[in-house]
């Protein structure tokens, strides 16, 4: 199945999530450094990444293997920001550190969207299916407040 065919691009950007009051300047995380208007969908991001790679003749390097590796590297860079922090410290990053984390999250998203594009995978459809699958595995009434894996509580 071709990704996105016949479907309206699903919006990724909604209202900005609330941030702890007083810790960040208004719009801190969502202000564009370049002044470019914000993207409104994964399709728009996919197309921007296609153009970015084409302009640099980098498409030749974007095999699924290379993109999966790059994605994992960026996920590790994200993780590095939290290494050795306590739970509480991880919830109270400085504004500068939060921005650095946001940039690593962007790297992860970029490589994920690029990988999905190169493999013909509709990420939003797959994510929706996964949520639906997880809702069956973890019925809210059975698991509310528990972090146990479904194999631990499902009847054998
Ligand atoms: Mg990075």
- pTM summary value: 0.75
Structure tokens at 36: 């470019």
Distance (Å) from CA 14 to ligand 1 centroid: 24
Same domain, 144 and 74: no
**Ligand 1 center from residue 77 Cα (angstroms):** 6
Alpha-carbon dihedral sign for residues 105, 111, 117, 119: negative
pLDDT tens digits for 8-40? 344 444 565 665 555 555 555 556 667 778 888
* pLDDT 10s digits, 92-128: 999 999 999 999 999 999 999 999 999 999 999 999 9
Q: What distance in angstroms lies between residue 156's CA and the mean position of ligand 1's atoms? A: 43
Within-domain flag for 18 = no
Domain extent at residue 134: 122-156
Q: Which of 5, 12, 2, 1 is nearest to 124 (CA)?
A: 12
* Total number of domains in the chain: 2
Q: Does residue 111 share a domain with residue 72?
A: yes
Domain with residue 79: its CATH number is: 1.10.287.1080
Q: How far is the CA of 102 from the centre of ligand 1 (A)?
A: 10
Confidence of residue 5 (pLDDT cuts 50, 70, 90): very low
């Amino acid at each position: 199945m071709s990704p996105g065919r016949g479907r309206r691009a699903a919006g990724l950007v909604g209202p900005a999530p609330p941030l702890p009051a007083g810790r960040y300047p208004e719009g801190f995380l969502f202000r564009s450094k370049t002044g470019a208007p914000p993207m409104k969908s994964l399709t728009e991001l996919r197309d921007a990444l296609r153009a970015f790679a084409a302009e640099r003749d980098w498409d030749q390097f974007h095999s699924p293997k290379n993109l999966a590796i790059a994605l994992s590297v960026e996920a590790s860079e994200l993780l590095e920001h939290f290494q050795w922090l306590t739970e509480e410290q991880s919830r109270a990053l400085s504004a500068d550190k939060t921005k650095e984390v946001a940039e690593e999250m962007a790297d992860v998203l970029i490589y994920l969207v690029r990988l999905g594009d190169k493999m013909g995978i509709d990420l939003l459809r797959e994510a929706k299916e996964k949520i639906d699958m997880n809702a069956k595995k973890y019925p809210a009434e059975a698991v509310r407040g528990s972090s146990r894996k479904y194999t631990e509580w499902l009847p054998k």
